[in-house]
């Protein structure tokens, strides 16, 4: 059955504004159901959690439902879902509880800086996994020489936010686990682009951000609750010491959390299906991935045929994310030109600081990023390509 792209697009009110939204890797639009969930939470009345009255009980229920939804999305356990404002904030918080002076951490040059700096700034000894700048691959073999009995954590991305590279996280995790190290997998870019099974990937921690998959600006890190029990993050004295609550500082954005649940429900229902929400998510995200990669193959073929375009990376397994430069034009100029034609793309290093350094383009403004998510269609791709041909 073909991916029901018309129905999926119709669920997103913002898409009717006439722009081609190819900036999903920097944040997606949200479906009406997410807007409704957030508005309804406020309209119905919500209180702080743990109170005695119905509005407080509603917030208790919202938080519990959100943990269950995120767990379904990534294949984790609801009581291991840590919720917070975004991935970066949560990763800083967790990194300090996980590693410190005397430990070793392994980070990669493929990663967004949010899965690099929080680890390099723990005071642990840092070891770097290098990227092949031509293919954009992160070779697994190097990890054997990087991991040892002092390694506390291997931080690695499930997908690069600029090249789309999907490294072999399971193989890296196997090497980490053999040495008794933990894996902290950045799933922020990967999550919207296909089914996620954090267990199969060997992720001890899996980080994701709802605003990359149709939800509000909320981040989550998922881990085994038993593992979380072993960690002692900085926290206020009176705040709950239970897991996962002890990792959640301050008052949560309760209405937004209801939006997160609605986003997961939306993803699960993109294609008709039966079974548990987890089963429907796996089927729906597999269909979305096929849809994205089909369009992406056409986009890449066209970009490769344009002599003025340099496309970075050619990884074997990737998300539908293109990163390219156009000869004679700054990346920002290309993005401005496309914006005038109603085509939204990103330009710059996109916080892939180490990777753009390895590609040798960080100091010259990085490149242009055009990414596809489930709601993009052929018209979006055609408008991008047409815009590039009109660049003078």
Ligand X SMILES: Cc1ncc(COP(=O)(O)O)c(C=O)c1O
- Chain positions contacting ligand X, by CB under 6 A: 86-88, 112, 114-115, 157, 161, 186, 188-189, 209, 219
> What's CA 257's distance to the chain center, in Å?
17
Contact 104, 152 (CB under 8 A): yes
Contact 99, 73 (CB under 8 A): no
Question: CB of 165: closest distance to ligand X in angstroms?
Answer: 11
Q: What is the DSSP letter of 135?
A: T
Please say which residue, 86 or 333, places its beta carbon nearer to ligand X: 86
Please say which residue, 67 or 93, places its beta carbon nearer to ligand X: 93
Please say which residue, 188 or 295, places its beta carbon nearer to ligand X: 188
Please say which residue, 46 or 98, places its beta carbon nearer to ligand X: 98
Question: CB of 82: closest distance to ligand X in angstroms?
Answer: 13
Q: Residue 187: which of 131, 121, 111 has the closest Cα? A: 111
| 3-state SS assignment for residue 223 | strand
Please say which residue, 372 or 385, places its beta carbon nearer to ligand X: 372
Q: Which residues are CB-contacts of 390 (< 8 A; sequence separation ≥ 6)?
A: 337, 341
Q: Which residues are CB-contacts of 124 (< 8 A; sequence separation ≥ 6)?
A: 99, 100, 101, 102, 103, 104, 105, 152
DSSP 338-352: HHHTTEE-EEE-TT-
- DSSP-assigned beta bridge partners for residue 310: 325
Please say which residue, 87 or 326, places its beta carbon nearer to ligand X: 87
Q: Measure Cα distances from 90 to 69, 96, 220 in Å.
A: 18, 10, 7
Question: CB of 241: closest distance to ligand X in angstroms?
Answer: 26
φ/ψ of 82, rounded to 5, equals -95, 125
φ/ψ of 186, rounded to 5, equals -85, 105
Please say which residue, 115 or 356, places its beta carbon nearer to ligand X: 115
DSSP 52-84: SSHHHHHHHHHHHHHHHHHHHHHT--GGGEEEE
Question: CB of 278: closest distance to ligand X in angstroms?
Answer: 23
Question: CB of 207: closest distance to ligand X in angstroms?
Answer: 7
Question: CB of 88: closest distance to ligand X in angstroms?
Answer: 3
Question: CB of 384: closest distance to ligand X in angstroms?
Answer: 20
Question: CB of 189: closest distance to ligand X in angstroms?
Answer: 4
Please say which residue, 86 or 249, places its beta carbon nearer to ligand X: 86
Q: Residue 75: which of 324, 277, 231 has the closest Cα? A: 277
């Amino acid at each position: 059955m073909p991916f029901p792209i018309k129905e999926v697009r119709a669920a997103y009110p913002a898409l009717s504004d006439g722009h081609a939204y190819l900036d999903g890797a920097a944040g997606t639009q949200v479906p009406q159901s997410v807007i409704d969930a957030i508005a309804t939470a406020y309209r119905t009345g919500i209180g702080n959690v743990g109170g005695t009255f119905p509005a407080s009980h509603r917030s208790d229920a919202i938080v519990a439902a959100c943990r269950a939804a995120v767990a379904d999305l990534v294949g984790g356990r609801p009581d291991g879902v840590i919720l917070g404002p975004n991935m970066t904030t949560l990763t800083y918080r967790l990194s300090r509880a996980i590693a410190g002076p005397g430990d070793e951490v392994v980070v990669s040059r493929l990663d967004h800086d949010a899965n690099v700096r929080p680890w390099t700034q723990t005071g642990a000894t840092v070891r770097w996994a290098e990227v092949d700048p031509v293919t954009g691959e992160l070779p697994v073999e190097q990890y054997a020489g990087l991991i040892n009995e002092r390694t506390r954590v291997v931080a690695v991305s499930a997908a690069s936010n600029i090249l789309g590279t999907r490294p072999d996280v399971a193989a890296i995790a196997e090497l980490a686990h053999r040495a008794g190290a933990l894996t902290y997998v950045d799933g922020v870019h990967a999550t919207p682009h296909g089914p996620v099974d954090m267990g199969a990937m060997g992720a001890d921690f899996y980080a994701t951000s709802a605003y990359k998959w149709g939800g509000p600006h909320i981040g989550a890190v998922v881990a085994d609750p038993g593992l979380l029990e072993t960690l002692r993050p900085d926290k206020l004295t009176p705040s709950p010491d239970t897991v996962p609550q002890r990792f959640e500082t301050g008052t949560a954005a309760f209405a937004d959390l209801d939006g997160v649940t609605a986003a997961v429900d939306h993803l699960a229902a993109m294609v008709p299906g039966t079974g548990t929400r987890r089963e429907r998510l796996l089927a729906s995200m597999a269909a979305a991935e096929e849809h994205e990669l089909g369009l992406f193959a056409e986009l890449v073929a066209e970009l490769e045929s344009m002599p003025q375009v340099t496309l970075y990376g050619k990884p074997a397994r990737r998300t539908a994310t293109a990163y390219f430069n156009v000869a004679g034009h700054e990346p920002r100029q290309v993005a401005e030109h496309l914006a005038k034609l109603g085509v939204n793309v990103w330009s710059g290093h996109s916080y892939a600081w180490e990777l753009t350094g390895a590609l040798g383009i960080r100091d010259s403004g990085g490149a242009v990023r055009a990414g596809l998510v489930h709601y993009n269609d052929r018209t979006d791709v055609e408008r991008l390509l047409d815009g590039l041909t009109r660049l003078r």
